[in-house]
Amino acid sequence: MKNRKLLMIPGPIEFEPEVLRAMGVQTASHVAPNFIKVFGNCLNAMKKVWLAPHGQPFIVSGSGTLAMDMAAANLIEHGDNALVISSGYFGDRFKDILDRYGANTTILSTEIGGDIALEIIERELKNKKYKLLTMTHVDTSTGVLINPEPIAALAKKYNVISVLDGVCSVAGEEIRQEEWGVDIVLTASQKAIGVPPGLALLVASQDAIDIWKGRKTPVSNYYADWQNWLPIMKAYQEGSPSYFGTPPVNLINALEKSLTLILEEGIPKRIKRHQKLAMDFRKAIQSIGLSILPKTDSIAANTLTAIYYPQGISGGDFLSGMTGNDIILAGGLHPKIKTTYFRVGHMGSVSENDLIAVLSALERVLYKLNYKFELGTSLRVFEEECVK
């Protein structure tokens, strides 16, 4: 009898055994030649995964929120205008971060589960001069996916620095940072990148670096200041030792292995795999009458699915039942509807068999909770879709 449960939340995710083995090797000095090479390999691999060959990568000990904080701290000065395009909880968080650094922040949001029309965004950019625009590629609280490409194009048109929160999308959703003209793309290690929690990852364009260099005031966050981190990144890229804060050596070993696996799979193939699994999973759950939180399938994320509980089903009973069937799912996060839905993560090394296990347990639990449907329906639909 196995003594573990399948972790199917939107991060941390299930990790490849090779990644965990790389993390478990004996800890090296952060200035040892072998570790300098590992760190440099990670920085170079990030540019390939982000599709930003001329970008400047940063790897810093911290969470995805630190990556958001770094973008705001380095690019915002007191009184700057910032525009936040929000599709959920984490868009709202970006406003809080920008406000902390003295930005005059405007937030564009829509009804829960919806997205914001380009016409509305352009009207706002026409009517007011902004320095920075943020957008959440996949908001983990709602499962809503936006298309960053046309928004980044609008930012360029109006000479605004664009920041993409890719915490729940990098290496799981299509991102072409340099081609699309996105100035900052940030993420965290524990999502589709496939490494245990603890790394804030960010790639900045030269335009973003130039804006930072042109600041009139010092960065007000000591730990996040690129003045401290940029020389470290450049040194490791050039194969030289350097120090500001001790890097998490073992996590960076794991990152090198995971980025290698991602590039071996190939970015186009990896994105298509996420898209296919997500589409098949949505069709399966909809076949037994369950509804997703995004208003349409076209704006539903491929890295997680947010699903409403059926009417009359207790969320606590459902999640407890899933755990009892060795599947760990996440409850709702958006504060306005937190108790009405749950979330299934399907990113990184996720497989068809993982989602079959989820659907099998989900059907058993719902059936025991007296939800009316034909047993086996979602599994049959999923299997049929998988072989297409």
Question: Whole-structure pTM over 0.95, yes or no?
Answer: yes
CATH architecture of 6-11+266-386: Alpha-Beta Complex (3.90)
Beta-strand runs (E) in the chain: 6-7, 56-61, 81-85, 104-108, 132-136, 138-139, 144-145, 161-165, 184-188, 199-204, 304-308, 327-328, 330-331, 341-345
Residue spans per domain, the chain: 6-11+266-386, 17-265
Position 4 scores a pLDDT of 85
How large is the greatest C-alpha to C-alpha distance in the chain, in angstroms?
65
Residue 2 pLDDT greater than 90, yes or no: no
- Euclidean distance between CA atoms 22 and 196, whole angstroms: 11
Task: Please report which helix (H) or strand (E) contains residue 230, including its range.
Answer: helix 226-237
Are the beta carbons of 89 and 143 closer than 8 angstroms? no
Do domains 6-11+266-386 and 17-265 share one topology? The answer is no
The CATH classification of domain 17-265, taken from the options 3.30.230.10, 3.40.1350.10, 3.20.20.140, 3.40.640.10: 3.40.640.10
pLDDT digits over 216-235, tens only?
Answer: 999 999 999 999 999 999 99
For residues 106-122, give the mean pLDDT. Answer: 96
- On the question of a cis peptide bond just before residue 12, with omega within 30 degrees of 0, the verdict is yes
pLDDT in tens, 130-151: 999 999 999 999 999 999 999 9
Backbone phi, psi, residue 15, to 5°: -110, 150
Q: What is the mean pLDDT of the chain?
A: 97
For residue 1, pLDDT beyond 60: no
